[in-house]
Structure 1
Amino acid sequence: MAPLDPAVAAGRNLVRRALADLGPGSRVVVAVSGGADSLALARVTAFVAGQESWDLRAVIVDHQLQDGSADVVERTAKQLAAIGIDAEAVTVDVGTDGGPEAAARSARYAVLGAQQADAVLLAHTLDDQAETVLLGLGRGSGPRSIAGMAEVNGVFRRPFLQLRRSDTEQICRATGLTWWTDPHNADPAYRRVRVRTEVMPVLEDVLGGGVAEALARTADQVRADGAHLDAIADAVEQPLDIATLAALPDVIRSRVLRRTALDAGVNPSELAAVHLAEIDRLVTDWHGQLRIELPGGVACVRVGDSLAYVTTPVGG
């Protein structure tokens, strides 16, 4: 018997660890695009699911962004069937809000989030995490962006955040899977592609290697700190009371304000630091400001000794 490929063994162990809380019969969905990362995740998950008696299936989302996308879906479904995974193909119409990448992501997550599953597995790797941290640094988006992607976020789980992209390709080679390469992943029109193909190689060269791992470790550390501060913010009583808010440290008050804005219906992907800074001025630098306009048709106002969120009046 041939020895087990180290990359395959590592992938299986990561899936076991990420889903250790699931018992027999748990419903697990793996999101598969046809690329190396998601095919590798499907392959190792199929093995672990057989041992753990999970109810495993796959979802392939066809964004219809390239000619022949239906053929990619068909080839992917056949490979999944060959390893014992039933796949559902879902075709979506990608909008334009936020640009093509954001629109495709929104459409994909809408499909995946609607699955009746105990866990939905996403195939983001350590390389994806490092790129996300760099992009967050470049935007100046603050610690929430630098924290990158969490291994567990509600129903979504990312078992491969400690695995390199090259390892997923090796899993495919070792198990006889043939992956599809998305042409968008080589298109320099996308900022993430330039980070991947231009910025990361330079950093690895200048800093002597290990940059991707270091960025991923940084994300883990920032995320842990952020989770602790979020817990403190969540425990604040009367989160709209001016006196209460004014007495909080800045780092806690910003989190409380963010939570109240989200509770009021503001889209988290559109809520920026500049919005929170203006809401903060209603507490710390009040000069009679009328209202702070927020994404999603919501405004924040100061009413006496309290903040309030109201619907933005039509026509201003």
Structure 2
Amino acid sequence: MRLRDILQFIRANGLIRPGERVLAACSGGPDSIALVHLLARLASTVPFHLEVLHINHRRGPAGDDAEALCRETAARLALPFHRRELAPAPPPRANREEWMRQRRLAIFDEFRRSGFHRIALGHQRDDQVETFWLRLLRGAGSTGLGGMAPATTDGRIRPLLATSRSEILAYLRAHGLAWHEDATNRDGRHRRNRLRHRVLPALAEAGFGDAAAVVARTADLLREEAAALDAAVERLLPPLAESADGIRFALADFLALPEALQGSVLRAVIRRARGDLRRLERQHVDRALRLLRAGRSGRRTVLPGGLEVRLGSGVVRLALGPARSAAFEYGLDVPGRLEVPEAGAAFEALDGPPPAGLTEPHIVVPRPDGMLRVRSVRPGDRIRLSCGTRKLKAVLQERRIPVFDRDRVVVVCAADGNILGMPELSLGLCYNDDGCLGADRLITIVRRAE
């Protein structure tokens, strides 16, 4: 492993620009020790400012030994040193590895906000090869098989991604550098370790000695193809409505796409809603596709990361969590105005019939006694219409209000609980207007945008 090869890889992939602040994540393992040493040698060439971070996972004396080695390495190279630590255990029922990964990413984000441009990680070519095989055996497509990129949009870089583990170990020995061996890397209970210590050596013994290099090149090609496919898929996305409660699109627009492309399009929408596709497997996408193709309103499925895919009245919504609003109820004077944050609107009660030129949704009803009640829909609600008394649920279904929006629909009631109507649907109580109701006997209730 030559220093100029690492420099060429950094420049070819735009990993570090002159004058940037770089934070090297150092676990104490061979890859991260080599990373810190190499970047320290290159810092004056690019040039850039380098500091070192160690995250102590609090695994007892071994973890403290690794931290001491990282601190000593930074001191020997005259580099500023930072430490953070993770809580000793994740919350109950949490996936330990994923929880630790998310905590590490949160720490990286903390340093990025403090002014660091890049977070350098020690992933190398053998890690890439192992990731390829693990994802292949899991049934990943081209995006997953493309593995790790040299750089990510959130500032993480991998300067050693084209360097093999054997080259790194040779570099450490040549420079007399010590490293810490993590005992968990030998634990046969982990699939990656079984692949590393049993499967890949067996391939080499069977005569496929260059398999690692071939797989690494294949991952690079697949990553390039996946990027091109993603760009093409973006142009096929149905019109999306993005808001605080998720992303929506019309089911008909989605089903009009060729079936062969629907999975790729859905993955693109999931990535936009979630921010990434981590832990999303083909089986999850297929499950969501079956739900959408069945077209049954009210059905839902939850994908990894807590992303809910739900279908309602021809509309598909992707949201992190059910995103339901709590039940609400407020009083409204006549005349008067009321802000209803749960509905994202204001409601105004006016004396008399609607004023000339009123275009906003409204209802006109006989003036009730007492204060009006403005509340959310409740199970069993009914309203008297010209066709008879109807359940509000049936009315909302006929108006094609998606099930996930019904908890935001506002019902206006008289003080005695009698439902007067739903202004946003311009649907009001049916009353007998025989000409005896003068303007002073009517009120207008208007829904106004906030």
Q: Shorter-chain-normalised TM-score: which range?
A: 0.7 to 0.9
State which of 285, 302, 310 in structure 2 corresponds to 1:293.
302
**Aligned pair in 2 of structure 1 residues 140, 296: CA closer, same or farther (>3 Å)?**
closer
Aligned counterpart in structure 2 of residue 74 of structure 1, from 68, 73, 83:
68
Q: Percent identity?
A: 28
Give 1:266 shift.
8.1
Mapped pair 1:303 → 2:304: no
Q: Corresponding residue for 2:150?
A: 151
Q: What's the CA shift for 1:12?
A: 3.9
Classify 1:146/1:267 alpha carbon distance in 2 versus 1 (closer, same or farther; 3 Å).
closer
Displacement of 1:129 in angstroms is: 0.5
CA RMSD of aligned residues (A): 2.6
**What is the distance in 2 between the residues matched to 1:312 and 1:77?**
45
State how far apart, in whole Å, the 1-side matches of 2:15 and 2:274 are: 34
Superposition pairs of residues 181-192 of structure 1, within 5 angstroms? 181-192=181-192
CA distance in 2, matches of 1:271, 1:208: 31
User: Per-residue CA shift, 1:160-192, capped at 9, x if unaligned?
Assistant: 111001111122222231111111111212111
Report if aligned partners of 1:18, 1:158 keep a CA contact under 8 Å in 2: no
Specify which structure has the bigger relative contact order, considering alpha-carbon pairs within 8 angstroms and separated by 6 or more residues: 1
Question: Shift in Å at residue 83 of structure 1?
Answer: 1.5
Say whether residues 1:279 and 2:263 are aligned partners. no
Q: Quickly say closer, same or farther: Cα 1:216–1:176, change in 2 above 3 A.
A: same
2:6 aligned with 1:11, yes or no?
yes
| Deviation, structure 1 residue 288 | 5.0
Letter in 2 for 1:106: Q
In the other structure, the counterpart of 1:3 is: none
DSSP-derived class of the 1:30 partner: strand
Alignment pair present for 1:312 and 2:307: no
Q: Give, as a single letter, the amino acid of the residue that structure 1 aligns with 2:188.
A: P
Structure 1's 300 and 105: CA in aligned 2 closer, same or farther, altered over 3 A? Answer: closer
Larger Rg, first or second structure (1 or 2): 2
The equivalent residue for 2:25 is: 31
Amino acid at match of 1:149: M
Contact 1:267 1:295 in 2 (8 A): no
Tell me if 1:135 matches 2:144: no
**Structure with the higher helix share, 1 or 2:** 1
- Displacement, 1:212? 0.8
Aligned to 2:103, which of 90, 102, 107?
107
Please identify, of 43-52 and 191-200, the stretch whose mean Cα deviation from structure 2 is larger.
43-52
Q: Is the 8 A contact 2:274 2:307 kept in 1?
A: yes
Change (3 A) 1:207 1:114: farther
> Kindly tell me: are residues 167 and 277 of structure 1, through their superposed partners in 2, closer, same or farther at Cα, counting changes over 3 Å?
same
Residue ranges of structure 2 left out of the alignment (5+ in a row): 241-248, 325-450
Of stretches 167-176 and 29-38 in structure 1, the one that deviates more from structure 2 is: 167-176
Structure-2 residue corresponding to 1:217: 217
Question: What CA distance in whole angstroms lies between the structure 2 residues aligned with 1:292 and 1:241?
Answer: 17
Please, which moves more after superposition, 54-63 or 112-121?
112-121
**Deviation at residue 282 of structure 1 after TM alignment:** 4.0
Alpha-carbon contact 1:300-1:307 (below 8 Å) kept: yes
CA distance in structure 1 between the aligned counterparts of 2:70 and 2:293, rounded to whole angstroms: 55
